[in-house]
Each structure stands twice: as structure tokens, then as C-alpha cells.
Amino acid sequence: MTDFSTGESIEQWRANRGVEPVTPAINLVKADQAALLAHWPFLRKKLLSLTAKFQRKAPNAAMRWVPEQVRFEIMKGLHGNGPVELFLALGADDEIKGYAITSCQMDPFRNVPLDLHVWLLSTWYPKVLESAIDQLVAIAKERGCTALEYTSPFDGWARRGQKLGFQMKFVVWRKEIDG
């Protein structure tokens, strides 16, 4: 555990440590109903942390879900009634180091898979996404998708996405309507 009592910010600590974190060995595993049930309290807590981060860092990007709605969509997918899937990012020790909740977006006119949309993704160890990106691409290919995409209100994800081979597809400007 790092002690920041010296007044050093996390950014200063990262810059001063001089060592890039080692890319961990990650295995993306599709969660079944038993895994969802077993890990739900942990995942719910992580989803709540994600909503708190959005409220803190991107207050104009209102979250339109609560954890229970996410769980319901995953359960629908497990029963073949929806496209949402949960993948757990497991380290070499089988510890959960992150998750990806995806949805295969279908062409509305041809009814064929288009994009594997990463709806929600969170990791709490360095370089987990970098280690898992090839597996996400393989999952997209398995589902017949032609691309992998995500959306985010955070500027940092634009830079990180570019490093992983993503390109900007479009920008969305939104005006909320009261009433």
C-alpha cells in the first residue's frame, strides 16, 4: 500500500516511480448464472463506485441505470432473451481484476451483428484492459461483429482508446428535455 501522507498526488507518484506497471496475465471469462449470483455483491459495489465516479467527474453524463437494472439485463442475456453479457477479467490467481459488460449491436434492417458495444467496463489494477483487448476482439469476432466500440464522457478514454487502436466514430451532443 502506498502512503500519500507526504502530500504527493497520485499523478506525481506515478511520474516519480519510474516504472510502468507490468501487463498482467488476464483471462476474460463469460459469467454464467452461478458466477453472477456468487459475485453479485462485489459487482454491485463496483457498479455503485462507477456511478459515484461519473457523478464526481462527469456530472453532465447522467447514469441512466442502477446496478439492479444491469443485473437484470445480464440475466436476460444468460437466458437468451437479450444481447448483454458479463465478462470477468481474472488474474493468474483467479482474482477478479475487472469486468466488461457488452452488448452485440444488431443492424436493424438486415438483422445481422454489427458492433460489440462495451457498455460498462471497469478495472482496478493497471494494464488489465491492455491485456484483455485481444480477447474482447476475439469475442466480437465469435459473435460475427465487425467492430468493437465504447462510449465515455471522460477525455482520458479518447487517448487510451487510441493507444488500443480505437478511432473516433462520432460525437454526441445532448440536450435534456424537462417534463
Is position 2 within any domain?
no
Is position 69 within any domain?
yes
- If you average pLDDT over residues 2-14, what whole number do you get? 57
Given this model, what pLDDT does residue 35 score? 97
Is position 168 within any domain?
no
- If you average pLDDT over residues 116-131, what whole number do you get? 91
Whole-number percent of the chain with pLDDT over 70: 87
Total tally of structural domains belonging to the chain: 1
Is position 22 within any domain?
no
CA–CA distance, 174 with 179 (Å, rounded to integer): 16
> Has this prediction a pTM greater than 0.85?
no
> Strands, E, within the chain: which ranges?
27-30, 84-90, 96-106, 113-123, 147-150
Is position 15 within any domain?
no
Is position 3 within any domain?
no
Q: Domain of 88: which CATH number?
A: 3.40.630.30
Is position 143 within any domain?
yes
pLDDT reading at 4 higher than 60: no
Instruction: Give the structural domain span for 154.
Output: 28-124+134-163
